[in-house]
Structures are given as structure tokens and as C-alpha cells.
Amino acid sequence: MSTTTVTETPTKVATKIEGDYVYFHYDGRFGERRKVLTGEEMKSTFTEIPIIDVGGMFSEKLEDRMKVAKQVAQACEDVGFFYMKNHGVEQKLIDDQWKIMKEYFAMPLEKKMEHYIYKNKDLKGYEPVHGARLDDTKPRGDRKESFLNSYDPEYDPVPPTLSEASKRMMNLNQWPAEWPEFKEQIMAYHSRFITLARQLTRCFALGLGAEETALDKLVDAPNTNQKILHYPPQDPDIKDDTGIGAHTDFTLFTILNQDKVGGLEVLNANAHWVPAAPIEGTFVVNVGDFLMRMANNRFVSTVHRVVNESGKERYSTPFFFSPNLDAVCLPECCSADRPAAYEPLTVGDYYELRHSMQRHRFKTRGIGQ
Ligand SMILES: O=C(O)CCC(=O)C(=O)O
Ligand SMILES: [Fe+2]
């Protein structure tokens, strides 16, 4: 198996080509693969990730919002990823998030394992280094540790009207009881990202040719998940290790904040890895499996992974955003040329399916996804 780094024209992005096939976890299925294409076989595909100034998304003028929506839609059709510039999230909130993440991961393992995800009904909490394996060609698994929490209606800036029973069902988070500041910071960040994600949902609706508010009712009690991640450095000589194995996200979309270390890579149609190098002041947004379904494949949920061979500790925090109700293909995305590609499936059922697959994999192979 050869590993080459080439620079593809017309851009100057250093793209990685590895082996004959790339294996990945796609829309809930393990072991999917894409043939690596070179020379004459190569298809026209992206070799860099677009940077979109989303400032106009907050404008009062529809034409400004439409301009951003068109660029976003184009990026989601061609790449499935884009950098979001001028997102409006306050720097202090971001700085405080980095600080608390580092403090959390510096705790002893036994302390973090008190909230092990497989002790939790909803798979929320702590997952240790090598506790997950998304790419079966990397048997040692993912060299990362994480803490995951989900939506809590109490922290929604526009709280939905819910019965007490549904509130309890939605909030199955586990928190370190003796450290209230941790929950406070994580949820302050989470709340802010709910607002940003709702705004972005409108942008996606516009970009898909629907009414700007067409998806609002699907995100008034959304399925949000937020993860904090720590990737200890990988030894480049250990080939059965990876930061996070190649996969797609089972979200509507994901908004990722990464530190300056780098290592996130995105798979193009030639199965070449395009780096999503950190760009100061931006977040990386990617289309998830659910948006791909809702958009009837017009938008692509793109495979990505993290390889941290930098020799440094890497930290990142993705915010996973999914809707609350039955999601079906948008009528605007179905036509005679593009008939509905998926059976309508509720987010709840979809999550249940994905979680039961994850539990099954944990039980039978001793490892989570
Ligand atoms: O840490 C990153 O840069 C990406 C993380 C990711 O892809 C995920 O958690 O789904
Ligand atoms: Fe991901």
C-alpha cells in the first residue's frame, strides 16, 4: 500500500492518496468503500473546501440572505463541507469552551469513566481513547476521547412547549455533579449553537428552493448533540491507529470548531483526502446523512476522518444538529428527474436504529462506533 502526497491542479491543496480503496462508515453502514482513482480515471471533483462569508445570513434584506443561501447550497451539492466565516459567535464563549475542554480531559481516567457512555440509556457521557472504531481497517480504533451531551429543553433560547414526560425523555445527559461550572459552560455554548444552527437551517431551506421558514417547525425541539474531543498524538509508525475513522455524520448538519493543530480530512469523489486545515475565525460545516435524505441526495453527506500525526494534542468540538419531527424529502427536492430516493423516516426512528447498531457492535465486538 503506497501513501503519496500530491498537489492537484488547478488548486494548490495538498491532497493525500492512499491505497486502492478507502473504507468508511456511511449512513449507518460499516465497511463501505470507494475506489481510489488516478490518471485518466479521475472524475471532476472538489480539491478544496470553500470559505463562505455567512455575514449576509443575519441581514434584514432577503437578497443578502439569498446570496449566502446560494453559495451554501452550491457548496453542499459539490463538496458537502464549507468553512463558515463571520458566524457571529462571541470569542469569549469560544475561549471559555477551549479552557473547560482541556480541564475536563486532564482529569484522571477513573473520574471520567464514572460517566462512561455505555452506562447511559441514551449513550451520552464519556468515551475513552480507542473506545470507538469507525474504520475496520484500523483495528486499534480511534485515538480520541470524548464527552457527549444532548439537547436539554431548559437551555433552549426559544424553549418549546413540551410535557414533563417528553422533557425527561429528551434530557438523559450525565454531568460531573461536583463541577457545576462544566455543565454551565457546555450548555451556554450549546444554547448559542442552537440559535446559530436554526439560522443556518433557514439558509439551507432557502438554498433548497423552499420557503425560508419551511424547516422551522422541524427544529423547534431539535435533536442536538455536542461533543468535546481530545486527540492525543498518533505515532505515524502505528498504521492500525487513526484519530477518528472515516465516516459520515448522522445529523442534519454539523458545525465544528477545531483548534489550530489540523488533521481533519474530507474524501472527494476520486477517494483522495482533501485537508480541512484550520482557518482562524471560522467553523467547518458539513451536511449530515439526515439532510442528505431530506434534500433527496441533492446535498451530499461527505466522508471525513481525523489523522493526528502532528505530534501535538488536538482538541475540537462538533455541534451535531438534527430536527425534532418526522422528516421527509422536501417537495422542492423531488421531481420526475429526481424521484424520492428514501422512504420517509422519523428522526426518532433513525436515531433508534443507529443507536441499536452501535450497541450491537459494542456487545458483539467489544467496541463502540
Ligand atoms: O474532530 C474533528 O475535526 C471531526 C470530528 C468528527 O468528524 C465527528 O465527531 O463526527
Ligand atoms: Fe464527523
Concatenate the DSSP letters of all residues of 257-275 into one string: EE-SS--EEEE-TTSPEEE
Cis preceding linkage at 10, omega within 30? yes
**Would you state the pLDDT for residue 3?**
46
pLDDT digits (tens, 9 = 90+) for 127-172: 999 988 878 788 888 999 999 999 998 999 998 887 776 776 677 8
Distance CA 336, CA 232 (A): 49
- Tell how strand 81-85 and strand 51-53 pair up: parallel
303 C-beta closer than 6 A to ligand 1: no
Write down the H helix ranges in 29-135: 62-78, 91-105, 109-113
Show the cell assigned to 89. 459567535
Beta bridge partners of 238: none
- Give domain status of residue 337, yes or no: yes
Yes or no: say if 97 and 257 are a contact pair by the CB < 8 Å rule. Answer: yes
**ipTM of model over 0.85:** yes
CA 288 to ligand 2 centroid distance, Å? 8
Look-up: residue for cell 460517566? 115
- Give domain status of residue 11, yes or no: no
CA 339 to ligand 1 centroid distance, Å? 32
CA distances from 241 to 119, 159, 174, 181 (A): 26, 42, 29, 34
CA 320 to ligand 2 centroid distance, Å? 9
CA 247 to ligand 2 centroid distance, Å? 6
Look-up: residue for cell 492500525? 240
Per-residue confidence in pLDDT tens, the chain, 369 aa: 444 444 334 345 589 998 899 998 887 777 789 999 999 999 999 999 999 999 999 999 999 999 999 999 999 999 999 999 999 999 999 999 999 999 999 999 999 999 999 888 888 999 999 988 878 788 888 999 999 999 998 999 998 887 776 776 677 899 999 999 999 999 999 999 999 999 999 999 999 999 999 889 889 888 899 999 999 999 888 888 899 999 999 889 999 999 999 999 999 999 999 999 999 999 999 999 888 888 888 999 999 999 999 999 999 999 999 887 555 556 667 777 778 887 766 767 777 777 777 676 666 655 444
Q: Tell me which H or E stretch contains 355.
A: helix 347-365
- Give domain status of residue 138, yes or no: yes
**Would you state the pLDDT for residue 164?**
73
For a ligand 1 pocket test, name from 249, 256, 273, 284 the mutation site with the most ligand atoms within 8 angstroms of its C-beta.
256
**Would you state the pLDDT for residue 58?**
97
Look-up: residue for cell 464549507? 82
**Would you state the pLDDT for residue 120?**
85
229 C-beta closer than 6 A to ligand 1: yes
307 C-beta closer than 6 A to ligand 1: no
**Would you state the pLDDT for residue 243?**
95
**Would you state the pLDDT for residue 7?**
38
25 C-beta closer than 6 A to ligand 1: no
Domain of 357 in residue numbering reads as 21-363
Measured by CA distance, the residue closest to atom 1 of ligand 1 is 316
264 C-beta closer than 6 A to ligand 1: yes
List the one residue out of 238, 247, 203, 226 whose CA is nearest residue 317: 226
Measured by CA distance, the residue closest to atom 8 of ligand 1 is 318
- Ligand with smallest separation from the Cα of 284: 1
CA 165 to ligand 1 centroid distance, Å? 32
Measured by CA distance, the residue closest to atom 3 of ligand 1 is 264
- Give domain status of residue 288, yes or no: yes
Which class for 307: exposed (0-12), middle (13-18), buried (19 or more C-beta within 10 A)? buried
- Give domain status of residue 16, yes or no: no
Yes or no: say if 301 and 80 are a contact pair by the CB < 8 Å rule. Answer: yes
For a ligand 1 pocket test, name from 306, 312, 321, 358 the mutation site with the most ligand atoms within 8 angstroms of its C-beta.
306
Yes or no: say if 253 and 221 are a contact pair by the CB < 8 Å rule. Answer: no
Q: Which atom of ligand 1 is nearest to the CA of 314?
A: 1
- Give domain status of residue 300, yes or no: yes
Residue burial 195-218, b: 16+ Cβ < 10 Å; e: rest = ebbbebbbbbbbbbebebebbeeb
**Would you state the pLDDT for residue 10?**
38
143 C-beta closer than 6 A to ligand 1: no
Q: Tell me which H or E stretch contains 354.
A: helix 347-365
- Give domain status of residue 4, yes or no: no
Q: Which residues contact 165 (CB under 8 A, 6 or more apart)?
A: none
CA 18 to ligand 1 centroid distance, Å? 20
- Give domain status of residue 120, yes or no: yes
- Tell how strand 141-142 and strand 241-242 pair up: parallel
CATH at residue 70: 2.60.120.330
CA 11 to ligand 1 centroid distance, Å? 25
256 C-beta closer than 6 A to ligand 1: yes
* Structural domains in the chain (count): 1
316 C-beta closer than 6 A to ligand 1: yes
Q: Which atom of ligand 1 is nearest to the CA of 305?
A: 7
Q: Which atom of ligand 1 is nearest to the CA of 286?
A: 7
